[in-house]
Amino acid sequence: MGIALLTLVLHDVSLRAEKGATPPRITFTKTLKGSAPEYMALSIDANGKGTYDSHKLDEPSSPRPLQISAATTARLFSLAADVNNFQSVDFDSHRKVANMGLKTLSYEAGQEIHRVQYNYTENRTAQQLTEIFEKIGNVEEHITQLQYDMRFDHLSLPQTLAEIQEEYADHNLAELSLLIPTLEQISSNPRFLHLAQARAQEIMRNINQQK
């Protein structure tokens, strides 16, 4: 299903490119006051190109570009297709559960726009989509923290990298290749602690072995 869907998606992208149209796009947002971050938005098109944004609710948006793998892109669009690209679906369990954050999944392809919102879902496809997006978001949040540490708090780099290693071991991260440019900067900069450089190199080795 994933391979077949990817073929169809790539064919659709090709046709749209010829017509100068925008490729289909899936966007996931999550809003939860008091969490870190309070708002996050991850948008991916059928080419794997997208943006990530996270901030407190009273702060302005500042999305940054990213590129994810063809395999993850295919998986996202395959899962979306399994639920009719969010058209006329209800993902919320409607159970009395704690506020786990208002989540929104949307699909856009030209004039076609479908959107669904939920707090907690028992729909397996929705759970899988949520998990993938949140795991990519986890990686992007680590990039943000690493870049902060590199600029303002060198001594915290080993701890931040140790947290990445722990989440990696617990399978809480997706699209780890997004980390590589930042890890390369850490591992090659003699201003940073040797422990930070060693951990950055070890994480990169693990990422490259996954490919």
pLDDT, position 6: 53
pTM of the shown model: 0.90
Quick check: 17 pLDDT over 60?
no
pLDDT, position 4: 54
Instruction: Render pLDDT for 25-74 as a digit per residue (tens, 0 to 9).
Output: 999 999 999 999 999 999 999 999 999 999 999 999 999 999 999 999 99
pLDDT, position 18: 46
Q: For residue 186, which of 150, 148, 144 has the smallest C-alpha distance? A: 150
Q: For residue 41, which of 24, 23, 66, 22 has the smallest C-alpha distance? A: 66
pLDDT, position 2: 45
Say how many CA atoms lie within 13 Å of 82 toward its Cβ.
16
pLDDT, position 45: 97
